[in-house]
């Protein structure tokens, strides 16, 4: 899901707005002086209502496994947020960055082993209980990625989740 776009300003920083239903902020990417090979590439700054910049995260350079294309990956977090916003930034032909998000998946080892205790029998039907909601197709068309960037964001998220699962 595309959250926004960051463009290079006159001072050499990437600045733009990102928005979700619960988060709307102006962010800036400031180059981070690499101290080690795996250091962040950018510091993410958020603009406060008092018009000051505060650090809200970092972006690390990654590359796609299949194409080798470089992208930026990291998270935005702040005490005012209930949980971090995991993002990936993809470079556009005009030099700007598209900011994308997708929900992190739970690592396989986070699930309870098969047969471990639950409060009821193993087979409780479809898990909907006494719901009156339709159980089948809702008649909605399938959702297709709107652009090549959507697939890249999905690939980046899958790579991030695979790396997190193997860590």
How large is the C-alpha radius of gyration of the chain? Answer: 20
Asked whether residue 130 is domain-assigned, the answer is: no
Residue 70: CB atoms within 10 A of its CB come to 12
The torsion angles phi and psi of 123, rounded to 5 degrees, stand at -110, 105
Structural domain includes residue 136: no
Q: Do the domain assignments include residue 135?
A: no
What region does 136 belong to: left with phi over 0, alpha with psi -120 to 50, or beta? beta
Query: Within a domain: residue 112?
Result: no
3-state secondary structure of 118: coil
In which domain, by residue range, is 152 found? Answer: 2-107+146-160
pLDDT at position 165 is 77
Q: Please tell me what DSSP assigns to residue 153.
A: H
Residue 115 lies in a domain: no
Q: Which residue has the tokens 């600045």?
A: 15
pLDDT recorded at residue 94 = 94
Other beta carbons less than 10 A from residue 144's beta carbon:
7
Q: What is the reported pLDDT for 20?
A: 92
Query: What is the pLDDT at residue 28?
Result: 97
What is the mean pLDDT, run by run of 10 residues, along the chain of 167 residues?
A: 94 94 94 86 95 96 92 94 94 95 71 57 59 57 55 72 75
- Is residue 65 assigned to a domain? yes
Q: Longest Cα pair distance anywhere in the chain, in angstroms?
A: 64
Q: Is residue 126 part of a domain?
A: no
CA angle 95–98–101, rounded 5-degree value: 155
Identify the pLDDT of residue 164.
74
Q: What's the structural domain count of the chain?
A: 1
Whether 67 is in a domain gets the answer yes
């Amino acid at each position: 899901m595309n959250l926004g776009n960051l463009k290079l300003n006159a001072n050499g920083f990437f600045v733009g707005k990102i928005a979700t239903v619960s988060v709307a902020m102006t962010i800036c990417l400031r180059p981070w002086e690499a101290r080690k090979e795996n250091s962040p590439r950018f510091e993410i700054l958020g603009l406060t209502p008092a018009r000051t910049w505060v650090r809200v995260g970092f972006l690390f350079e990654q590359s796609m496994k299949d194409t080798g294309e470089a992208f930026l990956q990291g998270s935005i977090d702040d005490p005012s947020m209930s949980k971090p916003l995991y993002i990936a930034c993809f470079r556009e032909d005009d030099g700007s960055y598209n900011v994308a998000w997708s929900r992190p998946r739970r690592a396989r080892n986070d699930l309870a082993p098969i047969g471990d205790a639950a409060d009821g029998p193993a087979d409780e039907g479809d898990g909907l209980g006494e719901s009156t909601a339709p159980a089948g197709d809702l008649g909605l068309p399938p959702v297709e990625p709107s652009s090549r960037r959507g697939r890249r964001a999905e690939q980046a998220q899958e790579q991030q989740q695979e790396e997190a699962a193997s860590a």
